[in-house]
Amino acid sequence: MNRWVYSVVLATALAPAAGAVKAQDIPIAVVGPVTGSNAALGEQMTHGAKMAVADINAKGGVLGKKLDLIIADDACDPKQAVAAANEVVGKKVVFVAGHYCSSSSIPASAVYNEAGVLQMTPASTNPALTDDAAKKGWNNVFRSCGRDDVQGGVAGKYLADHFKGKRVAIIHDKTAYGKGIADETKKAMNAAGLNEAMYEAITQGDKDFSALISKMKQANIDAIYFGGYQTEAGLIVRQAHDQGLRAQFIGADALVTEEFWKISGPAGEGTLMTFPPDPRNVPAAKAVVDKFMAEGYNPEGYTLYTYAAIQAFAAAANKAKSLKVDDLSKALKSMTVDTVIGPLSWDKKGDVTDPKYVFYVWKDGKYAQM
């Protein structure tokens, strides 16, 4: 499907006619990149959302009603994200698990705020999402994931500790996510006493990085920190290997997908990346992970974070006995929700309290926590 073509799909076990929602159902949505270069990441979200809705409905639903899931495609494009947000708002959703890309979540959040819809992103880590919402007095924006100032702090300290006296290149893809995480990492690395030898930007969607790699070779770069997504990361790693650049490649949470290795191939060996401790190993997730694996799907990356976001909404609705955004927001900020990724609680901005990030390494086509 063309990435600019917008589609909405009803995804209930017994879906009514397309576009129709049963009067007794509670419509919610998951919005992410169903199409485009980040479709593998959107797949994580849709799998997580479908499983969460099925499990919640099997246990009686929310407030005695069944959840009806709408899946919408934003292709990680800001304009399409706004169109997708307006589309699901038109379907009277009361909650959105989304979006994936920060550049989509930020503009879409304004649509949801105006409509009085609770939004919880499982994957958008740019601090501006919740910081700006809080400054505007909005109460509808939450995350089930951490923030780039925390993740970048971990990466920046690692670079300063392990590459002292070495030459580090900071590269980003100009997106809200990519530039955001690169800048947070740079800030932490600089504060720890190491300055970058290069700071460069690419354009998302580029395929040929030979000029950039040549520039890094000439600068004798020892480590590359990349803020961006798995497609460009995989291409840079592969092309750097082909051109004989043996610098250590380090990325962030968007690389937590098998799609990265499909693109990088064996050149991805030894690539490092930051992500929270593997949610698949959380005891509370075992039954859900087993169900996914039985279906032949590996719930990697943000699959379980999407599941957890819907769990959080359901818990807040049941506590508040309401689907109104003010009541849901107040409930979330006053409770701890037991989810598949562990207990979640939120601060006044809607950020999860005490997020953790660790390093992973790619070896022989798989990634494991260091």
Provide the percentage of residues in the chain whose pLDDT is more than 70. 94
pLDDT over 50 at 261, yes or no = yes
Question: What average pLDDT does range 133-147 have in this prediction?
Answer: 98
| Model pLDDT, residue 278 | 96
Which residues lie across from 363 on neighbouring strands? Answer: 366
If one counts every other C-beta atom within 10 angstroms of the C-beta of residue 328, the result is: 27
Q: How far is CA 207 from CA 40, 166, 251, 309, 354, in A?
A: 18, 28, 18, 34, 37
Which residues lie across from 250 on neighbouring strands? Answer: 225, 272
Which residue do the tokens 């576009």 mark? 19
| Model pLDDT, residue 24 | 77
Domain 8-146+281-344 has CATH 3.40.50.2300: yes
Closest alpha carbon to 122 in 144, 90, 154: 144
Q: Which sequence spans correspond to the domains of the chain?
A: 8-146+281-344, 149-275
**How far, in Å, CA of 316 to CA of 330, rounded?**
9
Residue pLDDT, tens place only, 310-339: 999 999 999 999 999 999 999 999 999 999
DSSP state of 268: G
Question: What average pLDDT does range 27-51 have in this prediction?
Answer: 97
pTM flag (> 0.95): no
Closest alpha carbon to 96 in 358, 321, 328: 328
Residue pLDDT, tens place only, 271-307: 999 999 999 999 999 999 999 999 999 999 999 999 9
Topology agreement, domain 8-146+281-344 and domain 149-275: yes
pLDDT over 50 at 21, yes or no = no
Question: Which CATH class, in words, describes the domain spanning 149-275?
Answer: alpha beta
pLDDT over 70 at 23, yes or no = no
Contact 243, 217 (CB under 8 A): yes
Which residues lie across from 118 on neighbouring strands? Answer: 95
